[in-house]
Amino acid sequence: MQPDRLLSADDLAIGYASRSVGRDLNLELQAGEVFCLLGPNGCGKTTLFKTLLGLLPAQGGTVRLRGTDIAALSRAEIARTLAYVPQMQSSAFPFTAEEIVLMGRVIHRPAFASPSKEDRAIARHALERLGIGALAERDVTRLSGGQRQLVGIARALAQQAALIVMDEPTASLDFGNQARVLAEIRHLAAQGVGILLSTHDPDHAFALASRVALMKNGAIVAQGNVADVMQQERLEDIYNVPVCLANLPNGQKICAPDFAAMRPQR
């Protein structure tokens, strides 16, 4: 076994006791890489992530964290290696952004403790790394969707885990906020933060990831380097629409639906 294998799934079956979502899933993530799970809505990305995080029990196969079966680990042990940024950040109460980020520090302190001075410094630093230091004292329920998403990522940073798992970090954000959140994630990735994220938008995979897995109907149909895996036919297959791939003048690669090749379906 390679020492740098951080997270792996072997013949994993995901879903619930009454409903299977996917099976025979195999994945391998190394420390420090940015890995993107790409697939249409409803293909099982969120269920897979929750199973990888141990939040849902595997219906078959195993998830291994640094080689140990995740079912044998405590929540605190998992949280030291994996941080989670859920899709919808919603707080029932008007905590400040700093208080939310401080929650990422809870496993690093004894059971009966309050956040220490050091925790506050770490929380502030995490907010500043994402360019939202000025929001520290603001009430999160009054922040925009994009700002809330960045607060969630800052909390994951403060947790100081080896890998941050982001479930559709740009879901329900508008064009500008999507771009801003993606740019911050790119910036973190460039600093060597390990990231596993899901998205339904191929452009996000092009923008962020070094490796990618394509998912369709609860199965992983291809995985590997972005350049090898993200081929026109494969993308057309998982989304069931004709697509065009193109290189922009700045070297950025994009994917768009090929409207000229599409007939209205009725």
Partner 1 sequence: MTSVLSPAHRRARWLILLALCASSAIAGFALTVGAYPVTTEAIFRSLARLVSGQEPGDMQERVLMTIRAPRVLAGLLIGAALAASGAAYQTLFRNPLVSPDVLGVSAGAGLGAVFGIFLSLPIFFIQLFAFAGGLATVAVVALIATSIRGRDPVLVLVLGGVVVGALAGAAISLIKILADPYDQLPAITFWLLGSLSSIRQNDALAILPAVALGLVPLILLRWRIDVLSTGDEEARALGLPAGALRALVIACATLMTASVVALAGVIGWVGLVIPHIARMLVGPAFSRLLPMSLALGGGYLVLVDTLARSLARIETPIGILTAIVGAPFFIWLLWRGRNDAA
Q: Which region, judged by CB under 8 A, interacts with partner 1, from 35-43, 49-57, 184-192, 235-243? A: 49-57
Which of 104, 146, 194, 218 touches partner 1 (CB under 8 A)?
104
**CA distances for 192 relative to 111, 167, 223, 258, angstroms:** 31, 19, 21, 35
Pick between residue 96 and residue 177 the one whose CB is nearest to partner 1: 96
Which of 20, 30, 68, 96 touches partner 1 (CB under 8 A)?
96
Query: In angstroms, what is the minimal distance from the CB of 167 to partner 1?
Result: 10
In the window 136-155, what residues touch partner 1 (CB under 8 A)? 137, 141, 155
Query: In angstroms, what is the minimal distance from the CB of 1 to partner 1?
Result: 25
Contact (CB, 8 A) for 129 and 188: yes
Which of 1, 2, 112, 246 touches partner 1 (CB under 8 A)?
112
Contacts with 27 (C-beta within 8 Å, 6 or more apart), sequence order: 7, 8, 9, 12, 52, 213, 220, 223
In the window 52-91, what residues touch partner 1 (CB under 8 A)? 53, 55, 74-76, 78-80, 82-84, 86, 91
Contacts with 170 (C-beta within 8 Å, 6 or more apart), sequence order: 149, 177, 178, 181, 182, 199, 201, 204
Instruction: Give which of 18, 121, 6 is closest to 52, Cα–Cα.
Output: 6
Query: In angstroms, what is the minimal distance from the CB of 103 to partner 1?
Result: 5
Q: How many residues bind partner 1 (CB under 8 A)?
A: 43
Pick between residue 23 and residue 50 the one whose CB is nearest to partner 1: 50
Q: How far is CA 5 from the centre of its chain?
A: 18
Query: In angstroms, what is the minimal distance from the CB of 133 to partner 1?
Result: 13
Using CB under 8 A as the binding rule, whether residue 241 contacts partner 1 is answered as no
Count of C-beta atoms within a 10 Å radius of residue 133: 15
> Binding pattern to partner 1, positions 114-133, x when CB under 8 A?
xxxxx-x-------------
The Cα 101–Cα 90 span in angstroms is 13
Contact (CB, 8 A) for 224 and 29: no
The Cα 113–Cα 86 span in angstroms is 26
Count of C-beta atoms within a 10 Å radius of residue 51: 25
Residues lying near partner 1 in the complex (CB under 8 A) are found at 16-18, 50, 53, 55, 74-76, 78-80, 82-84, 86, 91-96, 98-100, 103-104, 106-107, 109, 111-118, 120, 137, 141, 155, 159
